[in-house]
Amino acid sequence: MNLFDLKGQTVLITGASRGIGKALALGFRDMGAIVYGTGSKESSIEWMHSENIHGRVADVSQVGTILPIIEEIKSKHEKLNCLINNAGIASNTPAVAFKEEEIYKIINTNFVGTFRACQAYYKTHKLLGGNIINISSVLGLVGYSLSSVYSGTKGAVIQLTKSLAAEWIGNNFRINAICPGFIDTDMNKMIKDKPQVFDKVANNIPMRRLGNPEDILGAAIYLASSASSYVTGQIIVIDGGLTSLLR
């Protein structure tokens, strides 16, 4: 018996066009899962067509974008086995300099978009059960300069995960979260492009390096599979040891 078997399982990954989401999409595909991935525009999902990943355009900050995709998956495959809420945006704006538009764009993408996706999944699967993995961040656990609104949304995702896990357990839903540390993606390009900033960040990580997007895959496979059938409402931190120093 392979507890980590995902063959034939349907998985929807939001924000799968690049970075962590792309690594998860390719990794789950390689595990035999039927993978659907979203990107905010058509050009961002073009690569999926040749990689046996079902790309769909969806801006999670907008109302009603994820529900039709979940309904499509349910219609074609009878059930969506796992929803991975990965779509997110960040900003290095000083707290005092935030404009209203930027504040609400981050909130609507990182938190409200995640909540809406969870809600849509539950509404369509409350008689079938489900499995949700929310991608939060270590910055939802600890304070860090220039991350005020982003950290607030990621902390909210952690509490959302715990609350939904308690509320929906009666309908056979499991909801867990993964908190990546500093990962080598486009979102952290600013860190890599500034040697002094990179050295400061890297020196605060016991493993002395940024994580790779693929470093998140093992935990996601565990949470998506029957190996974690007794796990819900939990937060898995993958950060090279960073929060062991900061918490």
Does the annotation mark 150 as catalytic?
A: yes
Dihedral class, residue 228 (left if φ above 0, else alpha if ψ from -120 to 50, else beta): alpha
Residue 34 to residues 6, 31, 65, Cα–Cα distance (Å): 9, 9, 20
Distance CA 193, CA 135 (A): 25
Distance CA 28, CA 190 (A): 29
Alpha-helix runs per DSSP H in 169-228: 189-193, 195-203, 217-224
Let me know the angle formed at the C-alpha of 241 by 146 and 159, rounded to the nearest 5 degrees.
Answer: 60
Distance CA 182, CA 20 (A): 11
Distance CA 198, CA 70 (A): 39
Q: Which residues pair with 54 in a beta bridge?
A: 36
What sign does the dihedral 30-84-86-62 (CA atoms) show?
positive
**Catalytically annotated residue among 104, 144, 150, 222:** 150
Report yes or no: 118 and 85 within 8 Å, Cβ to Cβ.
Answer: yes
Active-site residues, by number, are 150
